[in-house]
Amino acid sequence: MQMVRRVMGFIRDQSAGYLANHMARLFARELQARIKPLGLSIGTFPALLVLWEGDGLTQRELIERLDIEQPTMANTLARMERDGLVVRRKDAADGRVQRIWLTAAARALEAAATAAADEVNDRALAVLSPGERASFVDAMCRIIAALQTGVPDDAAGRSP
């Protein structure tokens, strides 16, 4: 029997936040191993996913879609530009705005990179039935939405 250690009342293996973070790190490690041979990194992958859906976005639009901080996005785009994955061009209507466009090299990586992500997801979720997978993903989406918008106290089971 596994010994559960309490840290000031906190039970690590029963904490949704701890477990989500641990799981995210494991997903990231598996994905990194699969996309590194493609010349990609975990840091650039989310931006590529959004840009593969439709490029020509502004840095602000990427920040909003990825829910990350501006300095992080600026550094990511600088790395992507250095690595030949994106180019920045002035917006035709507003010269103060730059739009981010994928290079041919980045477009060529989409199939292999997304296949790698699918493989990691399939491996990780193999322990779940198809119904459990759908419920798990739905629950994660609802939790993310709640954290982004703020969960009212009464919805969290607490009284105001």
73 pLDDT higher than 90 = yes
Helix, strand, or coil (residue 140): helix
Residues 135, 137, 138: CA angle, nearest 5 degrees: 60
Q: Are residues 31 and 113 in contact, defined by beta-carbon separation less than 8 angstroms?
A: no
Neighbours of 139 (CB within 10 A): 10
Q: What is the mean pLDDT of residues 110-121?
A: 98
46-67 pLDDT per residue, tens: 999 999 999 999 999 999 999 9
How many CB atoms are located within 10 Å of the residue 112 CB?
A: 13
Coil, helix or strand for 151? coil
Query: Which CATH fold topology does 14-151 show?
Result: Arc Repressor Mutant, subunit A (1.10.10)
Please write the tens of the pLDDT for every residue from 4-46: 566 567 888 889 999 999 999 999 999 999 999 999 999 999 9
| Token pair 């840290």: residue | 7
Sheet of 57-58, strand order: 57-58, 98-102, 86-90
Structure tokens at 42: 């975990």
SS3 21: helix
What tokens were used for 95? 């010269």
156 vs 135: which has the higher pLDDT = 135
